Structure 1
């Protein structure tokens, strides 16, 4: 075939270009490329969110549990070594409860190292933030449930997997104070999630606070499934909504609700029913030995 013939044939039957072979206009190809890139970005975002959730709900638990376990061992070791207690513990039958103005925890009594410090309905020595107070035991949240109690409800303290004692807007009273509200907070999810099952508590359930030399036994009187996070009255000396109408020796446990959110708060209220002396073997009260 001559060159002239080939040229005529090519003109009559041109070879298909890229557009003719694929049958796709260039605009559609660009759209598919954009969709592909978007899909990859969504997959990457999903992986990042998955890692964040894993960190928030699992790894922070691991870190908090390690920190709390070490701090718990340190506190118990100090007790075993005969170190000073966080505060001299009292009891309902002690002089503070009988109104002795010279008792260490009586209203208006002088405080070691300073003047009287008002608590939530009681008085006592002000403890520094982060100070270990004792341990919280709640059988309804597990037979061996135990949480270290520390002063403070700031983010750093609660992130260590502890139950923090309120210092504001009301300074909580201590269990050994003549009256007041021992108000605590802990995370419900992440950072140890120590109050994850707080909604398992019901009226009549025991709550026990362990200090170096006393067991403080409370009974749940009422619960509040949900309230606004601005409702500070739930940790007042006489907690709002609890049903209590006069000063007493109370305990309040608070956390976020619903689970995996911090939109609302829930509360559990109890009152002191008994104080047991600690024996040499640290024998738990009957409420912690049942079941």
Structure 2
């Protein structure tokens, strides 16, 4: 082969190797995306469903003195579980376990997390804001459709002894992830001006990013005692 063709052959060889590397890199990225957006959902959903069933089983045992309504944290805690959140606007029969904390380790279990830093109230407290967070994508993506929740929609929190029924009053489509005012006892931007019993749902926005936060606010409209058959309140029927 003439010597003048050698550089061309070298370039072709280099381009071939580069192409293979780019193809491999693209495949790895694709597999990683599938893992993050699909497989982590599968694993988290299984974990959350099992934990929710375990909590429901504990509620079948006789309650003790530390039950909602007393201002004391429930003694039926299962791995930090507080209760079960129901949001019809997120899908027919939608429910998700609520646990203490909003760290990645907690939310990656496919649950909604109760803000403890900064601290927020619990439904059975005298007053305050029951603030929750959950993933928008991956790891169960329990608040993936949080943007579908609107004014007047029901949000129901189920405990062993009570159904806490809230109605949505306002939403904030986008705010800074550092906006802690959104989860204060009288949440800033919610339209509320006096202490009361509020609920706040937060998640990341836009979808597949963590640039901003989307917020939903509601107020407590009624507390319904749980009967022997655990009949859902009218808001869920």
What TM-score results when the alignment is normalised by the length of structure 1? 0.78
Aligned to 1:164: 113
Aligned to 1:276: 224
String of CA shifts for 1:109-142, please: whole Å, max 9, x gaps: xxxxxxxxxxxxxxx5499895111100000011
* Matches of 2:203 and 2:64, distance apart in 1: 31
Match of 1:176 among 124, 131, 135: 124
1:25 Cα deviation from its structure 2 partner: 1.6
1:248-287 paired onto structure 2 within 5 Å? 248-287=196-235
What secondary structure, in the 3-state scheme, does the structure 2 residue paired with 1:181 have?
strand
How many residue pairs get aligned? The number is 236
Contact 1:143 1:288 in 2 (8 A): no
Moved over 3 A (4+): 124-130
Change (3 A) 1:258 1:130: farther
Aligned to 2:94: 145
**Higher radius of gyration, 1 or 2:** 1
What secondary structure, in the 3-state scheme, does the structure 2 residue paired with 1:225 have?
strand
What secondary structure, in the 3-state scheme, does the structure 2 residue paired with 1:25 have?
helix
Match of 1:187 among 106, 115, 135: 135
* Matches of 2:88 and 2:150, distance apart in 1: 11
1:287 Cα deviation from its structure 2 partner: 1.3
1:83 Cα deviation from its structure 2 partner: 5.1
Greater CA deviation, 220-229 or 65-74? Answer: 65-74
Contact 1:134 1:212 in 2 (8 A): yes
Higher normalized contact order (CA 8 Å, seq sep 6+, divided by chain length): 2
2:181 matched to 1:233?
yes
2:25 matched to 1:25?
no
Contact 1:252 1:269 in 2 (8 A): yes
* Matches of 2:22 and 2:96, distance apart in 1: 40
What TM-score results when the alignment is normalised by the length of structure 2? 0.95
Aligned to 1:37: 17
Structure 1 residue runs without a partner (length 5+): 1-17, 91-103, 106-123
Aligned to 1:14: none
Aligned to 2:68: 89
* Matches of 2:206 and 2:96, distance apart in 1: 21
Structure 2 residue runs without a partner (length 5+): none
